[in-house]
Chains A and B, each alone.
Chain A
Amino acid sequence: MATNGKLQANLVLASRFENIEVAERALLNLCHRAGLGGDEEYWLVTALREALANAVRHGNRQDPERHVRVAYVVENSTVTIKVEDEGAGFDPLDIPDPTDPENLLRPSGRGIFYMRQFMNRVEFGRSPDGGTAVLMVRDLAHIDNDQS
């Protein structure tokens, strides 16, 4: 998978929460091969798990016949993760701010907030199947000191 310092991997997973562990192990494997340390990989894994949980629960409605596609690229100091589901799509602007005092005690609605906190860039679009595609980028050369 390594080409000129670029590491990449692609997974196609059935929509089961257990498969989040599979995707986590694949990302950790890439991180180790790229020489990334514990703190960097911790926040990457945290964001990945949220994107996958959303794809399995909200996108594919836990239907194991529907797939979640994951693509990782680690190149130089940049880690890019793309997660696609086969659901109906959604508008991220519909998700209320979980740090608003009136939402603090809501039991859900923090997943996208987590992703935005722990990655430098998070973009939502449509997958080829019409579901949600989320692209997340973390540039390890420009890490917020609070998360190191």
Chain B
Amino acid sequence: MKSSIRDLGDIRIIELSGKITIGAGDVKIRELISQAIEDDKNNIVFDLGGVTAIDSSGIGEMVACFASVTKRGGQLKLMHLSPKINDILQVTQLITVFDVFDDEREALGSF
């Protein structure tokens, strides 16, 4: 999995690509969220546009990140989900937990 970071004001956009899977990507997103919190960026958007696969460990880590950010009074939102990643969020019913956006401007405006 690869990642890149952009800060727009108080909001951190973390672009992810590749696989978020056990033993690799799941650990990486945990580190990215820890770094954001260290940098005092508690409003975060995961841009999943380049993500090709996410397994249950990757989903679990995203849920843990959501809980960690929320506990600090911040928000973690998702954008640019592929149809398959969207399917996975639907079947796991996590679509009811995360705010999901197709458009970056809408995502930024939601904070």
Q: Using CB atoms and an 8 Å cutoff, list the residues of chain A in contact with chain B.
A: 17-18, 20, 42, 45-46, 49-50, 53, 57, 98-99, 104-111, 113-114, 117, 146-147
Contact = CB atoms under 8 A, between A and B. Distances in A.
Contacts of B97: 104-105
Given A107-B67, A117-B91, 20 more contacts: A17-B24, A20-B21, A42-B84, A45-B53, A46-B53, A49-B21, A49-B22, A57-B22, A104-B96, A105-B66, A106-B60, A107-B60, A107-B61, A108-B60, A110-B59, A110-B92, A111-B56, A111-B57, A113-B92, A146-B87
B21 A110 contact: no
A99 B56 CA distance: 13
A135 B87 CA distance: 24
A60 B72 CA distance: 36
Contacts of A147: 87
A49 B88 CA distance: 14
Interface residues of B, number: 24
A18 B23 contact: yes
11 contacts: A17-B24, A20-B21, A98-B92, A104-B63, A105-B63, A106-B60, A107-B60, A108-B56, A108-B60, A113-B92, A147-B87
B93 interface: yes
B94 interface: yes
A49 to B, nearest CB: 5
Given A46-B53, A146-B87, A53 B93 contact: no
B56 A110 contact: yes
